[in-house]
Amino acid sequence: MNKFARLDRLPPYVFATVNKIKMDARHAGQDIIDLGMGNPDLGAPQYIIDKLVEAAQKPHNHRYSASMGITKLRMAIAGWYKRRFDVDIDPDNEAIVTIGVKEGLSHLILVTIRPGDVVFTPTPTYPIHPFSAIIAGGEVRGIPVGPDCDFFENLIDATRQTWPKPKVLIISYPHNPTTEVVNIDFFEKIVDYAKEHNIMVIHDFAYADLIFDGYVAPSFLQVKGAKDVGVEFFSLSKSYNMPGWRVGFCVGNPEIVAALRRIKSYLDYGVFQPIQIASIIALNGPQDCVKDICNTYKERRDALVNGLNRIGWNIKSPKGTMFVWAKIPGQYIKMGSVEFSKFIIKEAQVAVSPGLGFGEYGDEYVRFALIENTMRINQAIRGIKKVL
């Protein structure tokens, strides 16, 4: 067999090494507390599930759907943006439903760049941000982001030093994995920067609702002129505990949305229609469930951060996302994140994600996902205490 060309530039999945050790330990009978993969453990609200079941009982909803999403869902998206952010969205030309953010973002990059085009992404960051460009044949330049970085200053420096000039900037706030957050002034600078350098902006807004301590995450599209330069993706996965449902959307610049709509018309028939109908109820219905989900993550965050600080692992409490980004304790930092992650699985029976899996600048960190209840988190603290 010939080599598969698109796979040549994809490295082995860093997380697979740690996952194998975790699964081997479980098969050996060990109780491993999994704070690794960011996979929400709670179910979707019952009224959303009830609507899914009702819609699934109707045979006409089992036919092929529209790749851009059904009209009523796009209208619900527009209404949600108006209520949440006072942003006007044209449901016909400025909104498209995607099979989660991962699919939508990767297909958008596929249709908007040519081989050799440069894409700027944060580093460390969610892997699909850089690898969507690599799969499409592009070149990636990582812009350091994190507690000790000024992302915008790094962005300006990288722009001066890069040739050919970048075509796309991918950003995401609140940020996975570093949990960094920004205010509206940051997005204003991004819009001005994009206009000056003729760069398309993609903002991944998956953690818009998982925010704490009075912080409110702004939408990129709230900035005047943002629609001139880019789009924003949102997912129902985290806000409504619907990760396996695979439904999200992209809104903003009509030309960019049209490009995504065109390529999707060749590649898929959209999300299963009962899921789209249930998603309308999620966006238009009572939002108490979103607050409850956020409060659950806050409770878990406090348990983890307070517990780690209590045993001597000093961690700053994040204002957003469902993660805690933790610098490896000094005595272990030379191990690197992969070896340290293996170490605490074996010695503490706790699984975390190695920071290297999110990019080279993450190798001094591990990411905790808040996907276990507080009792299990406290058990994890006790295990880690033995190691420290």
CATH number at residue 352: 3.90.1150.10
- Residues 37, 73, single domain; the answer is no
In a domain, 365, yes or no: yes
In a domain, 2, yes or no: no
DSSP one-letter string for 239-301: HTT-GGG--EEEEE-HHHHHHHHHHHHHH---S-HHHHHHHHHHHHS--HHHHHHHHHHHHHH
- Residues 282, 369, single domain; the answer is no
- Domain C-terminal end among 254, 271, 286: 286
- Residues 142, 105, single domain; the answer is yes
- Residues 23, 56, single domain; the answer is no
In a domain, 76, yes or no: yes
pLDDT at 11: 75
pLDDT at 356: 93
- Domain C-terminal end among 258, 286, 314: 286
In a domain, 251, yes or no: yes
Q: 113-140 pLDDT, tens per residue?
A: 999 999 999 999 999 999 999 999 999 9
- Domain C-terminal end among 245, 271, 286: 286
- Residues 259, 323, single domain; the answer is no
Cis peptide before 147 (omega within 30 of 0): no
Its pTM surpasses 0.85: yes
pLDDT at 122: 97
In a domain, 338, yes or no: yes
Give me the residues of the chain with pLDDT under 70, please: 1-2
- Residues 338, 314, single domain; the answer is yes
Q: Give the integer Cα–Cα distance in Å for 187 and 185.
A: 5
Domain, as residue range, for 37: 7-43+288-386
pLDDT at 29: 87
What does the mean pLDDT of the chain come to?
95
pLDDT at 143: 96
pLDDT at 2: 64
Q: Phi, psi at residue 10, to the nearest 5°?
A: -100, 115
In a domain, 1, yes or no: no
- Residues 115, 250, single domain; the answer is yes
- Residues 130, 13, single domain; the answer is no
- Residues 21, 112, single domain; the answer is no
The span from the first CA to the last CA of the chain, in angstroms, equals: 49
Q: Give the integer Cα–Cα distance in Å for 212 and 221.
A: 21
Tell me how many domains the chain contains.
2
- Residues 318, 261, single domain; the answer is no
Measure the CA angle with vertex 250, ends 150 and 87; round to 5°: 80
pLDDT at 38: 84
pLDDT at 9: 78
Q: Which residue has the tokens 């999200």?
A: 248
Task: Kindly give the pairing relationship between strand 248-252 and strand 230-235.
Answer: antiparallel
- Residues 150, 99, single domain; the answer is yes
pLDDT at 388: 87
Beta-carbon contacts of 260 under 8 Å, excluding residues fewer than 6 positions away, are 96, 98, 104, 107, 108, 111, 250
- Residues 214, 72, single domain; the answer is yes
Specify which residues 249 forms β-bridges with: 97, 234
